Structure 1
């Protein structure tokens, strides 16, 4: 069965508010990320977030297709699926979700691999969560010749989700993403408000950079993957959003 992530989380938040306030911090529902590929021209990028909901124990898979040139969803995505059965597996929900998205992937010719150019991995120690530095690959074992840095700024914002009024949480957090290259700073994104799909946000972190193979040689645009943390049943829940990073060579 499929249900709205916003509706599902809102119901859980309302039902568990007192428990959240009184309970110690637990691990939340931290979605996993999978890069599913690019179209041959680099125009479209598909990715998946998947995991098991905290509280319910239901497995879910959400598949997105980003129009890299227009910075908007494409192909009828997102394709969201939750199997409301604790005995269901991640393998089952991922297979069913991919079947729902298969026609869109075929129509948009998303069949080329995506490579990870930088990653703030979950087990990595030492990164501050505020930025990520990357560049086009050097020759052999040489480092990237012209690295650039993405920085995240977080700030209090607004949302149509009643985070303060109904749930008693702090106001939702928005973010801005800035590219630092060649001594200049270029703002790539700034929230005017927080979309309801993110729920009651508390933090953002750069997760990784993905790109088509040989993207710098072929003038393709890499994509930044941003971790979005929001209030959850047993601690902060993590989901992902994708932001194109144009102008990097």
Structure 2
């Protein structure tokens, strides 16, 4: 019998921002929201305070896990510039705007499992590989998986012409599947969302796993994209082992 994978809490503290980094930009916090019952939709929220303007922002993304594309009419974006703006207000307004889609797909019922989390504050951890298991049990790892990310130059889009660093894309491979070497291509180098096209570095920041009843397991690779100012924003990459 297949076991239902569940969230062991929302991990708000672990996922809430990455202060203390000696970087010029800001790195968005990330909070997975959940999956539709059939696993065909995944959503997450990213949020933070912009480094230069001190503007609080919050964005909620809904991903089609078959195509990897955003659902029509999404993401929902909130940025507050009023005098009493704060991060709590931005997040609440953003989640309120996204609530109809969250309820439509019943995402809070199916949170999935955060199988691994590897933020830049994790000292000594590799930034381009992530190894994890999909069962939240104690003891030796069971049938582990490994994701590997590779960066490569891509043609510079015209909107990135003023960037003085090399523009990169990424490819993602699952190099281990259930403890066995594997070479499954999960995402190609040029498939970067439009708002991430000026990225100059990528990092595998985490993995979320969901097991639909009667369906195949779905993995979401959480990829952190950095621009030339060292602002970090998230990309959710569906992987179907």
TM-score (norm 1): 0.79
Name the CA shift for 1:218/1:191 in 2 (closer, same or farther; >3 Å).
Answer: same
The structure 1 residue matched to 2:172, chosen from 164, 177, 180, is 177
For residue 165 of structure 2, give the secondary structure of its aligned residue in structure 1: coil
For 2:53, what is the secondary structure of its paired residue? coil
- Change beyond 3 A, Cα 1:195–1:225: closer
Which structure is larger by alpha-carbon Rg, 1 or 2?
A: 1
Q: Which residue of structure 1 lines up, in the alignment, with residue 9 of structure 2? A: none
After TM superposition, the score normalised by the length of structure 2 is 0.81
Per-residue deviation, 1:49: 0.7
Distance 1:246 1:39 in 2: 16
Taking the aligned partners of 1:199 and 1:208, their CA distance within structure 2 comes to 21
SS in 1 for 2:135: coil
Task: Determine the structure 1 residue equivalent to 2:223.
Answer: 226
The corresponding residue for 1:55 is 52
Moved more, 37-46 or 88-97: 37-46
State the SS of the aligned residue for 2:160: coil
Q: What RMSD over aligned residues (CA atoms) do the two structures have, in Å?
A: 2.2
Q: Give, in whole Å, the separation in 1 of the partners of 2:132 and 2:54.
A: 36
- Does the CA-based 8 Å contact 1:34-1:48 persist in structure 2? yes
Q: How does 1:210-249 map to 2 (within 5 A)?
A: 210-212=208-210, 219-232=216-229, 236-247=230-241
Matched, 1:200 2:198: yes
Kept in 1: contact 2:27–2:232 (CA 8 A): yes
1:136 corresponds in structure 2 to: 134
The answer to whether the 8 Å contact 2:149/2:171 transfers is yes
| Mapped pair 1:109 → 2:106 | yes
Q: Call closer, same or farther: CA 1:225–1:26 in 2, change over 3 Å.
A: closer
Q: How many residues end up aligned between the 2 structures?
A: 216
Q: Provide structure 1 residue ranges, at least 5 long, that are not aligned to the other structure.
A: 1-24
Partner of 1:91, secondary structure, is helix
CA contact (8 A) 1:45 1:65 kept: yes
CA distance in 1, matches of 2:44, 2:51: 22
CA contact (8 A) 1:118 1:208 kept: yes
